[in-house]
Amino acid sequence: MPKISVEEIRNISKTALLKHGALDWISEEVADAVAASESVGNRICGLYYLESYCEQLLSGRVSGQVSPDVQLVNPGSVYVDANDGFAQPAFSRGLPEALKLAKKNGIASLSIGRSHTCTSLGYFTKKIAEAGFLGLGLTNASPIVAPPGGKSRIIGTNPVAFSVPDGSGGVAMQFDQSTTTVALGKITMAKAAGKSIPEGWALDKDGKATTDPEEALKGTLVSAGGYKGWGFGLMAEILVAGMTGGRISKNVAPLKAKDGEPHNLGQFYIIIDPASGASFYNRLEELTNVISSEEGTRMPGQYTIPETEVDVPDELWNLAISLSKAKHSG
């Protein structure tokens, strides 16, 4: 398993996207997200997704040629129409306007509509925190979760991410998690590796607990904490589909399927200026100190330092190289 620099991962990913028809600046935005995911060990949202991006550029499920349309909905809300393109360039275009509104009003929302899957939601909320604001992000996905007691797939893994600024351009706390016990990618990766999954992750098509990833993929994933995770998943579903106009999960085709209609997903962000709080950084410091006073405990994401080199399986790296040498263009 070779050790690859994150910069090389970024460059190879960008070249692959360019070769499959994405514009230079769009390829740059998406490749940065791939590299950032790899730097923190989030392979599901990193190189694992590159082949799908390239295939769907060719099939038309995502466009790498469109410019996002940024619209001021009202004094506290920005909407970006991704025009069936990638989420990363749409967010990049809309964030500066949303930050201006949050600074002026104390709070603002940023809605991304008609978008491809955003993969790592925390990648985006981290950018909000690095700009000095609190960022809460939500999105939905293709259906894989049944209501507690049910068997029918209704909602997706519907991640929620939250990032907190440290007041110095960094991140004091961050979590990025699906509202299911595990992300769907954990199941697909277990299947590809020929491994079983822990009990409690998924149910088969008959609603029975299973440790077989293949049966899990025919069935449903389990909401984290049962009814509690189901409630958070529904919260994400309502806010995302309702505020962005994106599809409800039930109407979203499998995200990595090569062919089909564009994803037409949404991402919804709430951006808060900590300066609008009475004593934000004092209380944050107080809480951080209380948590870290006990050995072995920390704020989520507190000591996360991105790697500059990461181990990449030979097969996956060879695939990335081959995608970067493809003959496709335009």
* pLDDT tens digits along 220-249: 999 999 999 999 999 999 999 999 999 999
pLDDT at 328: 66
How much of the chain, in percent, has pLDDT values that exceed 90?
Answer: 92
The pTM (predicted TM-score) of the whole model is 0.95
Report CA Rg, the chain.
20
pLDDT single digits (tens) 117-157: 999 999 999 999 999 999 999 999 999 999 998 889 999 99
Contacts of 299 (CB under 8 A, 6+ apart): 172, 173, 287, 288, 291, 292
Phi then psi for 60, rounded to 5 degrees?
Answer: 95, 5
Residue 330 confidence (pLDDT) above 60? no
Pairing of strands 107-115, 77-85: parallel
Domains and CATH numbers, the chain: 3-180+223-324 (3.30.1370.60)
pLDDT of amino acid 47: 97
Terminal C-alpha separation, the chain:
33
Is 160 a residue whose pLDDT tops 90?
yes
What are the distances in angstroms from CA 122 to CA 20, 30, 285? 26, 14, 22
Q: What is the pLDDT averaged over residues 26-32?
A: 98
User: How far is Cα 223 from Cα 257, in angstroms, rounded to an integer?
Assistant: 24
3-state SS class at 79: strand
Tens digits of residue pLDDT in 94-103: 999 999 999 9
Residue 127 host element (H or E): helix 121-130
On the question of pLDDT at 50 being above 90, the answer is yes
Question: What pLDDT is attached to residue 77?
Answer: 98
In this predicted structure, what is the pLDDT of residue 329?
A: 52
What mean pLDDT do residues 178-189 have? 90
Confidence of residue 183 (pLDDT cuts 50, 70, 90): confident
**Residues 15, 126, 67, CA angle at the centre, nearest 5°?**
50
User: What does pLDDT average to over the chain?
Assistant: 95
249-305: per-residue pLDDT in tens?
999 999 999 999 999 999 999 999 999 999 999 999 999 999 999 999 999 998 889
**Residues of the chain above pLDDT 70, percent:** 99
